[in-house]
Structure 1
Amino acid sequence: MELLTIIQLCAFLLLTGYVFYLFYHIMYSRYSFIKLGKEESLKPEYKQRFKQIAVNMFGHKTLLKDKKSGIMHLVMFYGFILIQFGAIDLVGKGLVPGWHLPLGSFYPIFVFIQEITVLLVLLATGYAFYRRYVEKLARLKRGWKAGIVILLLSSLMLSIILAGGLEMIWKGHEVNALQPVSSLFVLAFSWLGSNVAGVLFYVLWWIHLLILYTFLIYVPQSKHAHLFFAPINVFIRKLGVPGKLKKIDLEDENAESFGAGKIEDFTQNQLVDLYACVECGRCTSVCPAASTGKMLSPMHLITNMRDHLTNKGAAITSRTPWMPAFAFGGTTANELAVATETELDTPLVGEVVTEQELWACTSCRNCEEVCPVANEHVDKIMDMRRYLVLTEGSLPAEAARALNNIERQGNPWGLNRLDRKNWIDQMDDDNKVVEVQNTESFEYLFYVGSMGSYDKRCQKISEAFVEIMNKAGISFAVLGNEEKNSGDTARRLGNEYLYQMLAEENVELFKNYNVKKIVTIDPHAFHTFKNEYQDFGLPEDVEVYHHSQLISKWIEEGRIQPNKSMMDKITYHDPCYLGRHNNEYEAPRQALSAIPGVELVEMERSGSNSMCCGAGGGMMWMEETEGTRVNTERTEQALKTKPDLIATGCPYCLTMVDDGLKAKDEEKVQARDIAEIIAESLER
């Protein structure tokens, strides 16, 4: 018996050594591939980073947005952690007869917890199989690769149960309440006898070990690599304002290109995203482009980039990414040389990721909001757009026209820059609008924006907000014809050069007039002023507001009082750059709820899961040539609430919803900005 024990121990050590060598090779290869990216310093802020780990990894906050799959994954996650102690216990029993974890009197309770955990994980894997192959959830892939981990995990659990039951028969243990599942096995198979059970125990022991090691080798080479990379990704994720784009040093004389044209142009932190992806499809299921038939799928964007990084990384580093090589077709030196030549010639932008995909993104960040592993899709798309525009000089004709108009006349239509303040002449005499002067003091600079200045429909928003400010007794001024475009459209369309020029000019203008508070009706301008202009010299003490925030504040302070009853059912559409980019969901709702008689109803997709109107990311100025229109889809969602009014907090959103209502021939329902609704509710 001792000889067999020694042979088993040697076989165990040899197999374990080989498996851990393979695991190390796989993980080091992927580490080497990630290191091809640019280095990026990580802001310490460890307290916040560990909080992210606690909330999103251990607390499953994002996963639990989908309660069913969230609970299922929670059981698997904690179950798998607990089962590792059981694996140590089982392996030890197979190597040293009579041994078990040294837990003293707690050991029987540990065994009970282990059995219940195994049962729960089996139920969870069963539900995972049901969701994927029976319910056929649209966002989930189906195929042997998608199901292999379910098979491995289920087999691992069954081997634990069977081994536990066989050990009880082998050792002559009686059935007991602390081993409920194994006891059922004993009752069914007690006729096996002690010797047969002992032999079968070791057969199951090896099966368990082989499954465990297969799992260890397979996981980092599959979509389940997120087990290792997701915690790292959550820890190193970009902190601070969501959706804030990095400033490009356009004066860098050593730069061969701007933006990301090669996989190596991304930062190492961005490349960790690629291996952290779990391919759950949540991002694609909420993407406005994907859901309306566009080519873009955020999940496939990430997985295609991941595969490209793996192949190109293998070519550059001469490391095979797949182990054991024979199981994946092998990689000879000649094959590697061919792969090197092929992969190095494969362009990232245009082939791995098509221009069609890049120009379909509305930068709404819904994909990032639902991603359980903290992937950031939008900044990668924006970096590739920057490469197309700044390095290749390639962008759609409509986008190029809008950017040229902004550069020449300061607005996307190319209308005369001296007509920017014409909307003021349309105001009632009762509504005073003061243009800023060097000698005049004012509390708020009202940044009107191109939509509020030139678009006939959106001028009404500007007029309504001016009326509200005058009734509230607010000291404010406008820039008139001195006002410039905020540059947001230019930046999201990839023209960083034009954006930086406008940002620097605007910052200088704000400083000249000693601006301390800025308010705007445009969430895109609000976002870039509040979060991105600091990179270009805007003093940190300058306060930036969206008009809904101030309207809500003034109502609360009693400066204005919506007295006029409006017996309307209103549904509110959350602008992406106000909500997901700046976490402002309550102010618009509080303002609307203050109107007597108003019934505020929510769409199925609202708040952080609100669907984009389709205008973000510069898409306002581009035609949709694939699938259905995003704004039509969003308007249909709003109409399902049977509203009288669809409220918005953004001139772009208002335009898109207005167009959606026209496309649906809906005449009974109106789209209005919250400023218009509040202004109407004030007693004249």
Structure 2
Amino acid sequence: MFGPLPLQTGEQVTRETFWGISPVGEVVFYYLAAVTIIVFAYGVYARFARYTQGDEDWFERLDDLPGRVASAAKIVASNEKQFNRDIVGGVMHAFIFWGFLTLLIGTTIIAIDIDIYRNLTMLLTGERQSFFVGDFYLSYSLVMDAMGLLFVVGVGIALWRRYVARTDRLHGKHTSREDDFLVWSLFALGVGGYLQEGLRILGTAEVTGSGVTFTSFEQVSFVGWFVADVLQVGGMTPAMAEAAYPVMWWSHALLAFLFVAAVPYAKPFHMISSFANVVTRDEKAGKRLPGVPAALDADTGAESIDSFSWKEMLDQDACTKCGRCSSVCPAKASGRNLDPRDVILDLKQYRESVDAGGEPKEIVADGGDSVIAAETMESCMSCMACMDACPVEIEHLKSFTRLNRQLTDQGDIQPSLQEVFQNVMQKGNTFGNSQRARGDWAEDVEVEVPDARTEEVEYLWYVGDYPSYDDRNKQVAKSLARILDAADVSFGILFDDEKYDGNDIRRVGEEFLYVELAGHHVETWNDCEFEKLVCTDPHSYNTFLNEYPEVDFEEFADDPMMPFEVEEPWNVDGEIDVRHWTQVVEELVERDALGLSGDELDYTVTYHDPCHLGRYNDEYEAPRSLIRATGADLHEMPRNRDDSFCCGGGGGGLWLEHEEEEKPSEERLREALEDTDAGAAVEKFVVACPMCMTMYEDGRKTGDFEDDIEIVDVAELVVEAIDASRASAAATDGASGAAPADD
């Protein structure tokens, strides 16, 4: 017979922290705690001291530090990025995080009571006092049991996903024993804490003739109370529990010491490095890249591991091996030789090897025993899906660009990419065609396309390479010209003074050519009179909006290789409004400048979010708004908006050859026809990017989808809707017998 023991008169509601532990044991405990703290502190110091050996970071990451810490605390405390694409994983991590944090706070509270408060009251009053009593103790016990239970459940989910369900993204080439140590030690600490509590509750129970009676107020420790009940039902007596308690107590304490001491030297360090990484994040990471010094002999690539900035080293240490980046990478999904997680961890592993006296080797190269293979970096599409999925704000693209710069400096690039560089240097465009022919497409459109160099315009339209030279994309340029003309807005283009924008050659490592292009355009724009800069291509939109304002033209002003004289920074304060054309036309539709009623077309369509418009710049609604304005029935693919699957053209993918069983564009078209709710009823695959148009037209042929679906640009849909609206209006006028207007 057992049950709660009534509280005796004058009995204090508390528990003895070192119950069953001898005075010598207490001394040993404090000695081990001191050693643990020293080992932990030295390890953390050594980690952060190593970062100082890295290169300086171009971006000020410690400005407004209190604000950064507060923002990071919100992100980490809410676990908001953990829920991205993985509800179960988010719940799991939230349980573990909040449970662990609560247990850590609870342990700290006990230490403050025993080691500070009691000694302080003894010094001031001559009597040791404790706040670990009464209602505080009861509240403490209830919260600790409840949050500790969540912690154990969370770790249990982690164990299930890793060892039973064997979630694919949790396993890879860098999976090791330290992963096992982290998850199993946490589980042992959580379960061991409850077992220790159950032994104490049973061991302090009163044995009477009628049975065993637990102390009543311990019921607030509901999990420990349950464990004590189970132990007694299993045959354990209070005397046996009292004897077993010190063994369990020391086992738990030693495991805790081992875990804390191991934190700076193994995977648990991510608890510190991940938070530091979130604090020092760049909100525009990826969409803007670090510039390079004007000196041609400057180390702008990855000559050694210390070429990487301290932030890039912190990125490497912050990686938790969760595999979220791997699971969303379109290059990996297409069978290319790239796993974003492995690149980051390969660099970390090499850094640690060199630090331990290992033999240095090339960081990245085409062939040979390098840390990263050239083929790996050529596989990257710069789609930024990895960064969007990363819960700890690792800036993969920054490190990848550094590796690409090294490949370019070494000449380890494919001939097709070298040809593109030559075309841009000699002709100003990636096609290698004459600059004089850049505006020839405008001669074949039935509306006038003004020259922005000779007249003031509201919209200076940057057309881009593909809409200027590629036959399929010329149709998009013509459509957009007709839209702007139909809206009766003032616009113009630069004709042969427009060159390639530079966005993608920068991402494959050709930084100095990028600066030359930026200088040319800024110098040209400064001679024009316009209010807004509008772009056909999301790649152009991104680099004009986020990167041109970052270029330090003054640093390159004295370089005879740079054919521009501009020295002042451009558009730093955003006085010039840079827009993608869908944003501009959406506004025109909203003010009824195009006369669309919203029921002109009856196609069933799906829409593909371009990476540089969506993930890079968070513009998802403008293209969709225009599609709906035409009357088309829009059905979303499963992977849409920030989860969109890249076409494969970014990061130089348009110019590189890859051996892959299925192109990213083919997989995306299959998704449109098979996984979308409308299924095979989808008639048109709608894009808003010239590179996407090119890649999907190619995928339509190579994937044998030519009879199944048509690739169209949003602009082409809008023009068709305008024509349908005008035809309907003309038919209505004719039916009503309206007289034709005078010439």
Structures share fold, TM-score greater than 0.5: yes
Contact 1:53 1:235 in 2 (8 A): yes
Partner AA of 1:71 in structure 2: V
**2:152 & 2:130 partners in 1: Cα distance?**
24
**2:202 & 2:161 partners in 1: Cα distance?**
37
1:70 aligns with 2:70: no
Contact 1:94 1:205 in 2 (8 A): no
**1:647 & 1:120 partners in 2: Cα distance?**
46
Q: Secondary structure at the match of 1:485?
A: coil
Residue 275 (structure 2) aligns with: 231
Residue 24 (structure 2) aligns with: 7
**2:405 & 2:20 partners in 1: Cα distance?**
67
Contact 2:20 2:242 in 1 (8 A): no
Partner AA of 1:500 in structure 2: V
Deviation at 1:362, TM superposition (A): 0.7
1:268 aligns with 2:310: yes
Deviation at 1:116, TM superposition (A): 2.1
Residue 380 (structure 1) aligns with: 399
Residue 487 (structure 1) aligns with: 502
**Structure 1's 101 and 149: CA in aligned 2 closer, same or farther, altered over 3 A?**
farther
Deviates more, 1:603-612 or 1:115-124: 115-124
1:561 aligns with 2:595: yes
Q: Which has the larger radius of gyration?
A: 2
**Structure 1's 450 and 179: CA in aligned 2 closer, same or farther, altered over 3 A?**
same
**Structure 1's 4 and 503: CA in aligned 2 closer, same or farther, altered over 3 A?**
closer
Residue 3 (structure 2) aligns with: none
**1:520 & 1:123 partners in 2: Cα distance?**
51
Match of 1:548 among 568, 582, 587: 582
Deviation at 1:346, TM superposition (A): 1.8
Contact 1:382 1:492 in 2 (8 A): yes
**1:460 & 1:46 partners in 2: Cα distance?**
50
- Structure 1 residues 28-427: aligned runs within 5 Å: 28-40=45-57, 41-42=60-61, 44-46=63-65, 49-65=68-84, 66-88=86-108, 102=132, 104-141=134-171, 144-172=177-205, 173-174=214-215, 177-190=219-232, 192-240=236-284, 242-250=286-294, 252=295, 255-315=297-357, 339=358, 342=359, 345-350=360-365, 351-389=370-408, 391-427=409-445
**1:245 & 1:92 partners in 2: Cα distance?**
47
Partner AA of 1:174 in structure 2: T
Residue 457 (structure 2) aligns with: 442
**2:274 & 2:402 partners in 1: Cα distance?**
22
Residues 89-144 of structure 1, C-alpha deviations (whole Å, 9 max, x = no match) = 77899999x99862541321221222222222222222111111221111012664
Q: Secondary structure at the match of 1:665?
A: coil
Contact 2:20 2:245 in 1 (8 A): no
**1:108 & 1:4 partners in 2: Cα distance?**
23
Q: Secondary structure at the match of 2:647?
A: coil
Deviation at 1:279, TM superposition (A): 0.4
Deviation at 1:618, TM superposition (A): 1.4
1:453 aligns with 2:497: no
**2:29 & 2:150 partners in 1: Cα distance?**
29
Deviation at 1:62, TM superposition (A): 1.0
1:509 aligns with 2:529: no
**2:256 & 2:537 partners in 1: Cα distance?**
55
1:473 aligns with 2:483: no
**2:522 & 2:462 partners in 1: Cα distance?**
13
Residues 451-490 of structure 1, C-alpha deviations (whole Å, 9 max, x = no match) = 0000000001100001100110110111112211112232
Residue 720 (structure 2) aligns with: 680
Deviation at 1:314, TM superposition (A): 3.9
Partner AA of 2:94 in structure 1: L
Residues 379-406 of structure 1, C-alpha deviations (whole Å, 9 max, x = no match) = 11111111221x3233111100111111
**1:2 & 1:105 partners in 2: Cα distance?**
21
1:19 aligns with 2:25: no
Residue 634 (structure 2) aligns with: 600
Deviates more, 1:535-544 or 1:348-357: 535-544
Residue 335 (structure 1) aligns with: none
Partner AA of 1:189 in structure 2: L
Q: Secondary structure at the match of 1:116?
A: helix
**2:90 & 2:699 partners in 1: Cα distance?**
35
Residues 334-354 of structure 1, C-alpha deviations (whole Å, 9 max, x = no match) = xxxxx3xx1xx2222231111
Deviates more, 1:71-80 or 1:103-112: 103-112
**1:123 & 1:151 partners in 2: Cα distance?**
13
Q: Secondary structure at the match of 1:278?
A: coil
Partner AA of 2:575 in structure 1: D
**2:688 & 2:298 partners in 1: Cα distance?**
41
Residues 125-180 of structure 1, C-alpha deviations (whole Å, 9 max, x = no match) = 22111111221111012664433222111111121111111111222233654122
Contact 2:95 2:153 in 1 (8 A): no
Deviates more, 1:279-288 or 1:48-57: 48-57
Deviates more, 1:183-192 or 1:449-458: 183-192
1:651 aligns with 2:690: yes
Deviation at 1:256, TM superposition (A): 4.3
Deviation at 1:220, TM superposition (A): 2.7
**1:103 & 1:349 partners in 2: Cα distance?**
62
Partner AA of 1:616 in structure 2: G
Residue 650 (structure 2) aligns with: 616
Partner AA of 1:78 in structure 2: W
- Structure 1 stretches lacking a partner, 5+ long: 316-338
Deviation at 1:287, TM superposition (A): 0.6
Contact 1:242 1:580 in 2 (8 A): no
**2:405 & 2:163 partners in 1: Cα distance?**
40
Residues 601-637 of structure 1, C-alpha deviations (whole Å, 9 max, x = no match) = 1111111111111000111111112443222122222
**1:394 & 1:593 partners in 2: Cα distance?**
46
**Structure 1's 3 and 528: CA in aligned 2 closer, same or farther, altered over 3 A?**
closer
1:538 aligns with 2:554: no
**Structure 1's 3 and 631: CA in aligned 2 closer, same or farther, altered over 3 A?**
closer
TM-score normalised by L of structure 1? 0.90
Contact 1:447 1:520 in 2 (8 A): yes
- Structure 2 stretches lacking a partner, 5+ long: 1-17, 119-127, 206-213, 554-568, 727-743
Q: CA RMSD in A?
A: 2.4
**1:622 & 1:604 partners in 2: Cα distance?**
28
Residues 244-293 of structure 1, C-alpha deviations (whole Å, 9 max, x = no match) = 0111122x37x443223222112112211111100000001101111111
**1:171 & 1:200 partners in 2: Cα distance?**
12
Deviates more, 1:369-378 or 1:224-233: 224-233
Residue 333 (structure 1) aligns with: none
Partner AA of 2:215 in structure 1: E
Deviation at 1:550, TM superposition (A): 0.8
Contact 1:89 1:101 in 2 (8 A): no
Q: Secondary structure at the match of 1:517?
A: strand
Residue 331 (structure 1) aligns with: none
Contact 2:20 2:246 in 1 (8 A): no
**2:43 & 2:176 partners in 1: Cα distance?**
24
Contact 1:90 1:205 in 2 (8 A): no
Q: Secondary structure at the match of 2:606?
A: strand
**Structure 1's 562 and 46: CA in aligned 2 closer, same or farther, altered over 3 A?**
farther
Deviates more, 1:192-201 or 1:354-363: 192-201
- % identical equivalent positions: 29
Q: Secondary structure at the match of 1:635?
A: helix
